[in-house]
Chains A and B, each alone.
Chain A
Amino acid sequence: MSAITAPAVRGMGGSGWTQFRGRLNSARLHLFVPLTLYLLFTIVPFYWMVVFAFRPTTSNHPYPWPITLANFKEVWNVLGFGTFFENSMLVGVGVLIGLNVICAMAGYALARFKFAGRSALILILLCTQFVPGVMLLIPLFVIFRHLGLIDNLFALIIADIVFQLPLTSLLMSGFIRNVPVELEEAAMVDGCSRVRAFLSVTLPLLRPAFVAIGSFAFIGSWNNFLFALMFMSSQNHFTLPVGLDYTIGEFSVNFGALAAGGLIAAVPVVVIFAFVQKYLVQGLTFGAVKG
């Protein structure tokens, strides 16, 4: 950092000390010292997991060398993380598609129509934010048992969609309101039906909304632990968080396998997050951050 401004400071031709102080100021220590400390706090735990995942179980160097993939082979094939990964993917993609379709429909109705009960509905949707998933664990279990969906991945897809639906619908209606209704009207004047106008004019403009909402839906369902623990009973229906919990319980000594499993669970969400985190800061905040 200081390299950019250093010539200017030197140009002022001060003594060694002022030059040093000038450099310190230009490096803005009050920003970078806390930021570096915090970065260490964030990154060291990730690094530690990578070290464990890639080094042989016999080694205890604080760096992953000699490098080995044995841990990954073990968790993927022996401990069943291949299946867990597949289940998590299925649920995540199911939630992503289902949620986007339902919340696009609901968002469109909320944004473009006046109807009786509209404000009551919005109020109810907001109130659901105070109803936590853990507290509904028991009644939801009973419902899914009546529906015969216990130990079925559909139960997870439904539960994940339901708990993310209220705020994503409100967010989607906000996005749709920002697309001028005149565009649709123009298309309808040109002979489109209402549905066609929505599909070919409004829908393409909503791509960022779908990407953002879909990503957060995916991350949310990928991370959901309690529902999966409660509703899935056989090991070939476990998702990654349940698999990790299982590994913690059963193989607490084998840290290499645990770390490799953790890395498998972490990479997809961290990569997706890195791409969409700017949407978060642009004001999508509340619907997305709620856990």
Chain B
Amino acid sequence: MGVTQTMLEAEQRVSLRAGAREPARRRRKRKGWVPYVMLSPLVVLIAAFVAYPVGSVVYYSFQNYNIVEPFLNGFAGWSNYSTMLRHDPLFWSSLLFTGKWVVTEVVLQLILGMILALIMNEAFRWRGFTRAAVFAPWAVSGVLTTTIWLLLYDPQAGIVNYLSNIGLAPRGFAILADTHTVFWGAVLAELWRGVPFFAIIILADLQSIPRELIEAANCDGANAWTRFRWVILPHLRDAVILSTLLRCVWEFNNVDLLFTLTNGGPGTETTTLPLYVARQAIDNHNFGYGAALTMAGFAILFVFSMIYLKLSKFGASTGYRT
């Protein structure tokens, strides 16, 4: 698996930094109950709160299950699924919007994050401070991001008002209430919080490129672009492929921002599939139908991940790594 590889790599990096110490490979061979006891809290928690719920989602998706209207509860057969696929236009429109949202966000975050990481990898004064400032939005929650961008976007009190004073925007223009601008309004807010993710991961990987490689490229007369294209980019390959996948999964599932910023609106303009699930669960208490939507989400994520890893030929690269 990809994550293992990256983590192993990270460990190697850490152990190299700690003075090229050899990793202690000799594990104590005492077999017995001790490791199982130590692992039991982990195993119990994962079994009870991850494995069992995943199983029960499958079960609920075949049930009518509404905690507010318990008199209708019972076995439902495939009816949740057939409603979803045949009679629910919001399912298809939310799916389409999810795709648009994930692709836009991940592509823009990757490009900006890459540029930012390349800049932060240079030595300059105040680098520590700049790095903390530039990465800070990463630590901020989706709801807080909403709070901040609501203040910026407000037609009367926001920064938009200053823009219209100098003639850049129509007066009293509500970005989040207009179907033409709400998408980019939400994209910008999520970019603000999301770019540091790629910047941090790519920066970590940039710092692991051996200095000799760059020097050798310079000796061979590489300019900045060739150096980037033929030395740096191949080195980043696996980290970029993996972090892009993780980010797609994460942006797919992330609902905090849209839930609070646009509430899926105006109308249902910005409703993603998981946001639709959350709405079913929180507002309608329609757990059976919500579970069927969840299953659709699982299936899409699974198929997407498989195709993505296959097409990107993850791990099949670069002689000088490992």
Binding site for B on A (CB under 8 A): 1, 28, 31-32, 34-35, 38-39, 41-46, 48-49, 52, 60, 62, 102-103, 105-106, 108-115, 121-126, 128-143, 158-159, 161-162, 165-166, 169-171, 174-175, 177-182, 219, 222-226, 229-230, 241-242, 244-245, 248, 255, 258-259, 261-262, 265-266, 269-270, 272-274, 277-278, 280-287, 289-291
Contacts and interface: CB of A to CB of B under 8 A. Distances in A.
Given A39-B130, A62-B162, A102-B45, A131 B50 contact: yes
Given A134-B278, A180-B21, A258-B151, 5 more contacts: A114-B28, A115-B31, A175-B14, A262-B151, A289-B201
- What does DSSP make chain A's interface, helix, strand, loop or mixed? helix
Contact of A139 (B14, B57, B119, B243): B57
A49 B192 contact: no
B282 to A, nearest CB: 6
B249 A132 contact: yes
A248 B39 contact: no
Interface in B98-148: 112, 115-116, 119, 122, 124-125, 128, 130-144, 146-148
Contacts of A274: 132, 136
B277 A137 contact: yes
Contact of A42 (B134, B281, B291): B134
Nearest to B11: A174
Interface string B171-195: 0000000000000000000001000
The residue in A162, A174, A179, A286 that gathers the most chain B C-beta atoms within 10 A of its C-beta is A286
A139 B60 contact: yes
A137 B243 CA distance: 25
B28 to A, nearest CB: 6
Contacts of A291: 250, 254
Contact of B57 (A109, A112, A138, A178): A138
A265 B9 CA distance: 35
Contacts of B136: 42, 46, 270, 273-274
A290 B178 CA distance: 32
A139 B56 contact: yes
Contact of B151 (A48, A109, A174, A181): A48
A283 B207 CA distance: 10
B305 interface: yes
Contact of A134 (B26, B124, B274): B274
A128 B135 CA distance: 26
B82 to A, nearest CB: 20
Given A129-B3, A182-B24, A265-B144, A134 B57 contact: no
Contacts of B41: 102, 105-106
Contact of B38 (A108, A137, A282): A108
**Top 6 closest A-B pairs, CB basis?**
A223-B141, A283-B10, A139-B53, A132-B253, A273-B139, A113-B35
B150 interface: yes
Interface in B286-312: 287, 290-291, 294, 297-298, 301-302, 305
